[in-house]
Amino acid sequence: MDVSKAIISRRSIRAYESRGVEEDKLVRVLESGRLSPSASNRQERRFVVVRDAKTRQLLSEAARNQGFVAEAPVVIAACSVEKDYVMLCGQPAYTIDTAIAVDHMTLQAVEEGLGTCWIGAFDEKKVKEILKIPEDIRVVALLPIGYPSAIPRPTPRKSLDEIVMHEKWNI
* Tens of pLDDT, residue by residue, the chain (171 residues): 799 999 999 999 999 999 999 999 999 999 999 999 999 999 999 999 999 999 999 999 999 999 999 999 999 999 999 999 999 999 999 999 999 999 999 999 999 999 999 999 999 999 999 999 999 999 999 999 999 999 999 999 999 999 999 999 986
Single-letter code of the amino acid located at 6: A
Residue 168, domain member (yes or no): no
Residue of 21, 133, 32 lying closest to 77 (CA atoms):
133
**Cα dihedral: 42, 79, 3, 75 (round 10):** 160
CA distance linking residue 142 with residue 75, whole number of Å: 7
- Laid out side by side, the sheet with 138-146 consists of 45-50, 74-80, 138-146, 115-116
Residue 20, domain member (yes or no): yes
Residue 8, domain member (yes or no): yes
The CATH number linked to 111 is 3.40.109.10
Residue 169, domain member (yes or no): no
55 and 110 Cβ atoms separated by less than 8 Å: no
Its domain, for residue 8, covers 3-163
Number of compact structural domains in the chain:
1
CB neighbour list of residue 68: distance below 8 Å, 6 or more residues apart: 13, 14, 15, 16, 60, 117, 144
Residue 170, domain member (yes or no): no
With 0.75 as the threshold, say if the pTM is over it.
Answer: yes
Specify the pLDDT at position 1: 74
50 and 122 Cβ atoms separated by less than 8 Å: no
Any idea how long the chain is? 171
